[in-house]
Amino acid sequence: MISKQETFNLSPYMALYDLIIPKDNMLRQINELVDFSFILDELKSKYCLVNGRNAIPPIRMFKYLLLKAIHDLSDADLIERSKFDMSFKYFLDMAPEEEVIDPSSLTKFRRLRLQDMNLLDLLIQKTVEIALEKGLLLSKMVIVDATHTKARYNQKTPKEFLQEKSKNVRKAVYQLDENMVGKFPEKPASNEVTEELNYCRQVVEAVETQSKVAQIPAVKEKLNVLKEVI
């Protein structure tokens, strides 16, 4: 059953947000000025309105995916960061002490509620449009770039998409471990997606077995994104 609105939060720790999150924080500004009720309008037909257990509010689930698009994180890393990043929790309308969802919930939400990535792209684009109308993001183009990139996924070939993700991994590794130069596999010369997938798997294996920086967050996050798509 759909939860039509967020529950009013009576947590005694809510005042922490005013101490921790600056007024000009991008996520805080978006959360306070953008009315996300359009998410309910778009998704209400995909929920049962009267029967069943209360589902996690669709606005919160969408916000998780918006954070994922902005920061280019895997599901697992997104949820892990949401545990301790107070700007994430504030954006998600959660109490500081509230438990986050399991990463598998994002998979179910995409499959059962969104059903195709085109709808997610449209919802993200709508969010950006509303934010711009409110005068936000004009000097903070990172979210615009990130969400536009997300919206362009369907315009990229699968090979180009895989190339981008493997390149992000190599770049992150090289910045921290110069000894990895020359240790990555040779890039495929053909346009076959299967060869690109195999190359990506070899990149993952090379980082996990030969690099000393695989567990550093700057590398691990990019690596997890690549692993998620292959």
Per-residue pLDDT tens for 93-150? 999 999 999 999 998 888 877 866 677 877 888 888 888 788 775 444 445 444 444 4
Does position 55 have pLDDT exceeding 80, yes or no?
no
**What is the distance, to the nearest Å, from the Cα of residue 130 to the centroid of all Cα atoms in its chain?**
19
The answer to whether residue 4 is domain-embedded is no
Q: Is the pLDDT of residue 5 over 80?
A: no
- Let me know if residue 30 belongs to a domain: yes
pLDDT greater than 70 at residue 19: yes
CB-based contact 124:66 (threshold 8 Å): yes
Same domain, 22 and 114: yes
Q: Is residue 11 part of a domain?
A: no
Q: Return the residue matching tokens 């020359």.
A: 182
Highest mean pLDDT among 27-31, 32-36, 205-209: 205-209
Pair (108, 206) in one structural domain: no
| DSSP-assigned letters across all residues of the chain | ----SPPPP--TTTTHHHHHS-TT-HHHHHHHH--THHHHHHHGGGS-SSSSSPPPPHHHHHHHHHHHHHHT--HHHHHHHHHH-HHHHHHTT--TTPPPPPHHHHHHHIIIII-SHHHHHHHHHHHHHHHHHTT-STT-HHHHHHHHHHHTGGGS-HHHHHHHHHHHHHHHHHHH-GGGTTTSPPPP-S--HHHHHHHHHHHHHHHHHH-S-TTSHHHHHHHHHHHHH-
At which of 154, 181, 214 does a domain end?
154
Residues 94 and 130 in one domain: yes
| Chain centroid to CA 90 | 16
Helix axes 26-33, 141-151, angle to 10 degrees: 70
Statement to judge: residues 33 and 128 lie in one domain: yes
Domain boundaries, position 43: 16-154
pLDDT value of residue 3: 57
Q: 103, 136, 154 — which closes off a domain?
A: 154
The residue out of 105, 133, 154 marking a domain boundary is 154
Mean pLDDT over 175-198 rounds to 93
Task: Report the number of distinct structural domains present in the chain.
Answer: 2
What is the pLDDT at residue 133?
A: 82
Calculate what percentage of the chain has a pLDDT beyond 90: 53
Whole-number pLDDT of residue 197: 95
78-82, 156-160, 193-197: lowest mean pLDDT where? 156-160
The burial of 36, by beta-carbon neighbours within 10 Å (0-12 exposed, 13-18 middle, 19 or more buried), is given as: buried
pLDDT band at 9 (very low <50, low <70, confident <90, very high): low
Q: Is the pLDDT reported for residue 58 higher than 50?
A: yes
